[in-house]
Chain A
Amino acid sequence: MTRFIFATIALLFAAGTALAQTEPPLGVHLGVASCGGSSCHGSVERPANSPVAGNEYLIWSQRDKHRNAYNVLLQDRAIKMARALGLPDAASQKVCLDCHADNVPADLRGRQFQISDGIGCEGCHGGASRWLGSHIAGATHQQNIAAGLYPTDQPIARAEKCLSCHYGDATKFLDHRIYGAGHPRLTFELDTFTAIQPAHFTVDQGYVQRKGRVTDVQVWAVGQAIALVRRMDAVLDPKHAPKGLWPEFSFFDCQSCHHEYGAYAKPTTTGLGPGTVKFNDANEVMLRVAAARVAPGVANQLSTHMLALHQATQSDWGSVQREAAAVKAAAQSLVNEFANHDFTDADMRAFTSALIAMGASNLDSEFSHDEQITMGLEAVTTGLKSSGGVSEQQGAAITNAMGAVYGAFTSEKGIRQDAFAKALADLQRTMGR
């Protein structure tokens, strides 16, 4: 323990000395080795007096796909994709590395930094050169953040960080050209993906003391709002304006095109006729559920402009941009509403019922919606369980019923609608009155 801390500090000092002269504006990424010591985050058992479990590195390295994000770039599929894109390989390309590794510029890479570590600690928590010292020395969480630790505990910050890759931002974006080359479809919901990562933190008393209580429902709602802001940002980005005939297809619902024939059912949310391709509106549909209780006025605005956005895809790009800006503004104001809202058990029960009703209705059978409904229910019911809003017995019944909801999905792009509707009806019964 002592030895390790000493070693780490010694290392850090070595780096620190170098930094003192030409310290870049952002922290240097020191590498996973700086965090994964057996007495720090690489422990099997909780280290003495540690406020955290200490096994964070182990969870990441053994179970978290972020660990293998770089390695997959070396696989056949990635090489095939790279060739389709006219690249010699994937593992040396910025366009791939930007999300498959902690691809900071060379001057921000410390001595122990290895690109092959994939999305390592500092990929999310920020370069540690400025805060590792205070962190090890036992500074408070606020002090660490002030020193440059990224506040992943805060819903807005977490959503921004995750979505920067899991949807994209101004500098990195998974466009349809990359999908066409073979990249798997991205799907994301902040709270669910935090849990299935799997999370390498537990919200225990110490966590709440240090970071405050963050509820799953808030993480879900904020995550949806920011996801929609990001989507609209991409629509408004001149880089993604139509080229010739081609709009940026990744804005649209994948299943809108990639479906077998004869699947059309009149949509209730878009007003579009048959044979048209629709924007992916799953985040907006979720957001409307949350907004209806928290900020009904904004909810109205949101649905009005989203409908207009769908219609605009049948006219010109100028109209699309106008409506995208309005949708973005509504989503942006919801980010703040949700971040400041104290979500109650009544809120969560209402969300659960609304999501179930939407999923069970045969008027809305879109896969992208069903997927978000399922993840939304996971987040909200988890919130209810941890708030004590449902009894332990009820919680077990909910978990059980959610199992059947997941079971309705035949693959990552297929669902049995009848099984889904039935599982949702069963889930509603577990909620009681």
Chain B
Amino acid sequence: MIWRGIACAALLGLAAPAVAQVPNDTTNHVGVHSCAGNNCHGAIQPVGNARVQQNEYFVWSQKDKHSKAYAVLKDPRSLRIAKNLGLADAEHSSVCLDCHTDNVPPERRGPQFQLSDGVACEACHGGAQFWLGTHVSGVDHKVNIAAGLYPTDQPEARAEKCLSCHLGNDKRFVIHKIMGAGHPPTPFEVDTYTAIEPAHFIVSPSYIQRKGKPNDMQMWAVGQAVDVKLRMDLILDPKNAPQGVNFELSLFDCQSCHHSMADLQWQARTSTGLPPGRIKFYDATATMLRVAAQQVAPDLAKALHDHMLALHAAAGENWDAVKREASAVRDAAQKLIPQLAAHDFTKDDAKAMTTAIIASALDGDNLDYSGAQQQVMALESIVVAMKGLGFADDRQIAALNDAMNPLFDAVQDDQKYRPDAYTAAVKGFKAKLPM
């Protein structure tokens, strides 16, 4: 075991002094090669008795779209998007590179670093300059984190990291101009997306020993809180404020506009209070957050509901009213993050949240595609948590997993989404609930 670490370090020649935790990564990114040695993270198959599978690089390079994130910029589609935006190409434009690769400034790129590796190890785990040494020497996880390894195992940190691209922040945001040029929508839910990445870790006894036992419900809940907080940050960002008649459409629910005119789909919703013909701020994650908040802080759940409702109404008033309500929503989400991160999500929580999600789907209040999509991912997280925490037996879990398939089918394509097919799938799932 230890010799493997020494081999890695030798390979890299980078035995670095331990430094204090670096909150904002300003360290050098040494490149995928530094991690991918076949006796480090580059094994082709899981290694039996190691602390980790050691095939992490292999999983990433073979199965994970992050490894193709740069390559996709060379596709004809990306070229078309770039041209629509008036750019020469996509692969040299920082607006694209900032999320399609680990686009650290040139002075922070190590000799082995390659932009073409896409969203590689250090894009998520942080530049390894100062922690690779301690890491290969087999120190405790906390020591690595103190040395600058990004704590992707912690729900809030993971959500912040993933959402910094999968939603956006003050430095990078898929504004509607980019969407209009042809960029696909960017749906996200941190727990589900961790699983389908696919995850290059397994929660083994060693993982639990080193990092604690994760709870998918908690990952989901914290992820939603961080999502809502970041969304409100985007609304509050002066760069995204309306310019005259024009406002930033990416802040809104895609299907609010991009739906067929053939359907009679409008219905009154108590969650928005909007009249027909309006477009609504994207609120699917806020709606989910309310469900989780109800379990840990009902007062914050109420504040969230009230201020989201007021936010929808404020769009018909003026931008100051929008900002006022967005701040209030942000406050509620911000307060919820530590509470959700500290909460021990139990079987009772699973039951209550599942009931609330199903009720919200079946009472028709949240039958938008975006709402359905988040509901399905929430139910998946809860099912996975129930399995992981032993809240249901294998047969029950198998039945629930079967019932999840029609749900995934119903939300697979936003352009073909049918609320009636979705509610039928929800009823099918409800029938299989063991509780």
A180 to B181 CA separation, bound complex (whole angstroms): 26
The answer to whether B244 touches A316, judged by C-beta atoms less than 8 angstroms apart, is yes
A258 to B415 CA separation, bound complex (whole angstroms): 11
Shortest CB distance A226–B (Å):
25
The answer to whether A264 touches B315, judged by C-beta atoms less than 8 angstroms apart, is no
The answer to whether A262 touches B182, judged by C-beta atoms less than 8 angstroms apart, is yes
Whether A4 is near chain B, meaning CB under 8 Å from some CB there, is no
- Which positions 147-206 of chain A face chain B at CB distance < 8 Å? 175-182, 184-185
The answer to whether B276 touches A275, judged by C-beta atoms less than 8 angstroms apart, is no
A243 to B176 CA separation, bound complex (whole angstroms): 21
A86 to B185 CA separation, bound complex (whole angstroms): 33
The answer to whether B276 touches A180, judged by C-beta atoms less than 8 angstroms apart, is yes
A242 to B318 CA separation, bound complex (whole angstroms): 10
Interface string of A264-282 (1 = CB under 8 A from B): 1010000001111100000
Among A81, A175, A249, A273, point to the contact of B180 (Cβ < 8 A): A273
A245 to B322 CA separation, bound complex (whole angstroms): 10
Whether A419 is near chain B, meaning CB under 8 Å from some CB there, is no
The answer to whether A244 touches B318, judged by C-beta atoms less than 8 angstroms apart, is yes
The answer to whether B181 touches A85, judged by C-beta atoms less than 8 angstroms apart, is no
Shortest CB distance B180–A (Å):
3
Chain A residues in 8 Å Cβ range of B246:
276, 313-315
Measured CB to CB, the nearest residue on chain B to A314 is: B246
A180 to B279 CA separation, bound complex (whole angstroms): 10
Chain B residues in 8 Å Cβ range of A175:
277
Whether B316 is near chain A, meaning CB under 8 Å from some CB there, is yes
Q: Majority SS of interface residues in chain A?
A: loop
Whether B49 is near chain A, meaning CB under 8 Å from some CB there, is no
The answer to whether B277 touches A244, judged by C-beta atoms less than 8 angstroms apart, is no
Interface string of A230-259 (1 = CB under 8 A from B): 000000000000111111010000100111
Measured CB to CB, the nearest residue on chain B to A86 is: B275
The answer to whether A249 touches B181, judged by C-beta atoms less than 8 angstroms apart, is no
Shortest CB distance A257–B (Å):
4
Contacts A77-B264, A315-B243: A274 and B177 contacting too (C-beta < 8 A)? yes
A317 to B275 CA separation, bound complex (whole angstroms): 23
The answer to whether B258 touches A260, judged by C-beta atoms less than 8 angstroms apart, is yes
A313 to B242 CA separation, bound complex (whole angstroms): 12
Chain A residues in 8 Å Cβ range of B266:
84, 180-182
A273 to B317 CA separation, bound complex (whole angstroms): 27
Measured CB to CB, the nearest residue on chain A to B281 is: A245
Place the interface of chain B in its size category. 35 or more
A346 to B259 CA separation, bound complex (whole angstroms): 43
Whether B50 is near chain A, meaning CB under 8 Å from some CB there, is no
The answer to whether B84 touches A176, judged by C-beta atoms less than 8 angstroms apart, is no
The answer to whether A317 touches B244, judged by C-beta atoms less than 8 angstroms apart, is yes
Chain A residues in 8 Å Cβ range of B318:
244
A179 to B265 CA separation, bound complex (whole angstroms): 11
The answer to whether A258 touches B261, judged by C-beta atoms less than 8 angstroms apart, is yes
Among B243, B247, B275, point to the contact of A177 (Cβ < 8 A): B275
Whether A261 is near chain B, meaning CB under 8 Å from some CB there, is yes
Shortest CB distance B240–A (Å):
12
Interface string of A67-108 (1 = CB under 8 A from B): 000000000010011001110000000000000000000000
The answer to whether B84 touches A245, judged by C-beta atoms less than 8 angstroms apart, is no
Whether A320 is near chain B, meaning CB under 8 Å from some CB there, is yes
The answer to whether A273 touches B258, judged by C-beta atoms less than 8 angstroms apart, is no
Among A77, A184, A249, point to the contact of B277 (Cβ < 8 A): A249
The answer to whether B315 touches A245, judged by C-beta atoms less than 8 angstroms apart, is yes
A22 to B73 CA separation, bound complex (whole angstroms): 77
The answer to whether A261 touches B175, judged by C-beta atoms less than 8 angstroms apart, is no
A185 to B267 CA separation, bound complex (whole angstroms): 19
Chain B residues in 8 Å Cβ range of A259:
258
Known A-B contacts: A246-B316, A273-B85. Give 7 more (CB < 8 A): A243-B316, A244-B321, A245-B315, A258-B259, A273-B84, A277-B249, A317-B245
Binding site for A on B (CB under 8 A): 84-86, 175-182, 184-185, 242-247, 249, 257-262, 264, 266-268, 275-278, 314-319, 321-322, 415
The 10 closest A-B pairs by CB, nearest first: A275-B180, A180-B277, A180-B276, A274-B180, A257-B257, A316-B244, A274-B181, A275-B176, A181-B276, A176-B277
Can you list 12 residue pairs at the A/B interface with Cβ under 8 Å?
A: A84-B266, A179-B277, A180-B278, A244-B317, A245-B247, A254-B261, A258-B257, A264-B181, A274-B177, A276-B180, A276-B246, A314-B246
Binding site for B on A (CB under 8 A): 77, 80-81, 84-86, 175-182, 184-185, 242-247, 249, 254, 257-262, 264, 266, 273-277, 312-317, 319-320, 411, 413
